[in-house]
Amino acid sequence: MATAFPPLENDLLLRAARGEAVERAPVWVMRQAGRYLPEFRKVRESHEFFEVCRTPELATLVTLQPIERYTGLLDASIIFSDILVIPQAMGMEVQMNPGPHFPEPLVTPEDVNKLSPVVDVNKELGYVFEAITMTRKELKGRVPLIGFCGAPWTLFAYMIEGGGSKGFQKAKTWIFRYPEESKALLLRIADVCVDFLVGQVKAGAQLLQVFDSWASELSPHDFKLFTFPTLQRIAEGVRSRLVAEKLPVVPMTCFAKGANHSLGLLAEHGGYDVLGLDWCIEPAEARRIVGDKVTLQGNMDPILLYGGRDAIESAVKRMSEGFNSSGGGWIANLGHGITPGVDPEDLRWFLECVHKYSKRA
Ligand code: CP3
């Protein structure tokens, strides 16, 4: 990539992701650019959700909002986009009203023929790459920029359910009734994920995160059979392409929400540098399971942000002691995305508490 970016001033996130020693835990928050911020809601008053994603100037503007509001407190930015841009690139229509809605979900394996046979990510998702390059410039080296995509199982679930779901009956019926067709579609999505993530690094992303938000819906057995191979394929595929194309081999994070049963498998064979944790596991227990192979990210319950300053402070203190006393790399975050009703000043308090309690001697 010919683009020269301003030098990085804060590399705490990248050092922690590589398992290097850090003076305190780097901190960022999933969905840090979002509806809890009045400045974000203001932009959304006059622009539709996917319009913001597709307009590099707007995506850059909202990506920078939390960085500017919380000066010096956030150690990473994450590009404003959505995991559902991949199903769109594969030819499906997706609306956001206010949650995701697919007017024509996949009903039977024959419907897979309606998807674009080949996906040119530069053509379909070039707007994300442009937003990344523009954001890298505007960040002026303040913090690194994270790129991301949805994991194949989570995208498959949306493409079949047609939106959010309680029991994922339709998507799970597919994997049980049509296991081979399901595996083929999952791998096809994985290949788009690889192209998309490599393109994001080319455009300037400095760390990549794969969100498997609905990993929680599968038994350990089915996680291993249907989602794990695709997560592995993405890590291996991205790394080998980055090496082959002489691009920076950036750290990669896998957040398989609710799949704490498979942390050992992910640490041993997943191929990721960082594993994201939800709040349903103690930090020391997670560290015991993964050994010293990976950095851990997380994991405060996002609803604690409604609990008041004292509750936030004691939770951050406990979390910091748990991660710091069990060794290994740690990136502080919530255990899932921040929700729209949080008072932005309570998030500031969370960030300040992480700075205070995560210091390492
Ligand atoms: O983290 C960030 O700040 C970067 C931007 C980002 C968004 N979505 C913006 C967004 C990221 C990383 C995502 C990922 C995403 N999108 C996931 C994985 C993470 C997770 O939360 O599990 C999922 C499952 C989606 C799908 C999605 N997009 C849903 C279910 C919804 C609606 C419900 C909700 O949580 O808001 C969205 C919409 C969405 N994506 C919003 C934002 C800021 C809110 C929509 C709005 O502006 O009206």
One DSSP character per residue, 36-96 reads TSHHHHHHHHHS-HHHHHH-HHHHHHHHHHHHHHTTTT-S-EE-S--TTHHHHHTT---EE
Closest CA to 297 of 10, 17, 14, 15: 17
Are 236 and 187 in contact by the 8 Å Cβ rule? The answer is: no
Return d(Cα 60, Cα 139) in angstroms, integer: 9
pLDDT above 90: percentage of residues in the chain: 97
DSSP state of 306: G
- Residue 339 Cα to ligand 1 midpoint, Å, equals 10
Ligand 1 and 199: CB distance under 6 A: no
The 10s digit of each residue's pLDDT in 125-148 is 999 999 999 999 999 999 999 999
Q: What is the mean pLDDT of residues 101-129?
A: 98
User: 27, 29, 31, 339: which to mutate for ligand 1, most atoms within 8 A of CB?
Assistant: 31
Return d(Cα 352, Cα 361) in angstroms, integer: 18
- Is 69 assigned a catalytic role? no
- Is 241 assigned a catalytic role? no
Ligand 1 atom nearest residue 148's Cα: 12
Q: What is the mean pLDDT of residues 102-115?
A: 98
Are 216 and 335 in contact by the 8 Å Cβ rule? The answer is: no
Q: Is the pLDDT of residue 8 over 70?
A: yes
- Residue of 70, 158, 272, 357 marked catalytic: 158
- Is 142 assigned a catalytic role? no
pTM for the structure as a whole: 0.97
- Residue 44 Cα to ligand 1 midpoint, Å, equals 14
Q: Is 257 helix (H, G, I), strand (E, B) or coil?
A: coil
When pLDDT is cut at 50, 70 and 90, the band that residue 14 belongs to is very high
What the block records as the tokens of 236 is 């291996």
Pairing verdict, β 95-96 and 100-101: antiparallel
- Residue 326 Cα to ligand 1 midpoint, Å, equals 32
> End-to-end alpha-carbon separation of the chain, Å?
39
- Is 178 assigned a catalytic role? no
pLDDT at residue 293 in the model: 87
Q: What is the mean pLDDT of residues 233-245?
A: 98
- Is 54 assigned a catalytic role? no
pLDDT at residue 152 in the model: 98
Residue type, 205: A
pLDDT at residue 2 in the model: 52
Ligand 1 and 271: CB distance under 6 A: no
Q: What is the mean pLDDT of residues 72-82?
A: 98
The 10s digit of each residue's pLDDT in 173-231 is 999 999 999 999 999 999 999 999 999 999 999 999 999 999 999 999 999 999 999 99
- Residue of 31, 54, 188, 287 marked catalytic: 31
Ligand 1 atom nearest residue 211's Cα: 18
Q: Which residue owns the Cα nearest ligand 1 atom 22?
A: 213
Are 91 and 157 in contact by the 8 Å Cβ rule? The answer is: no
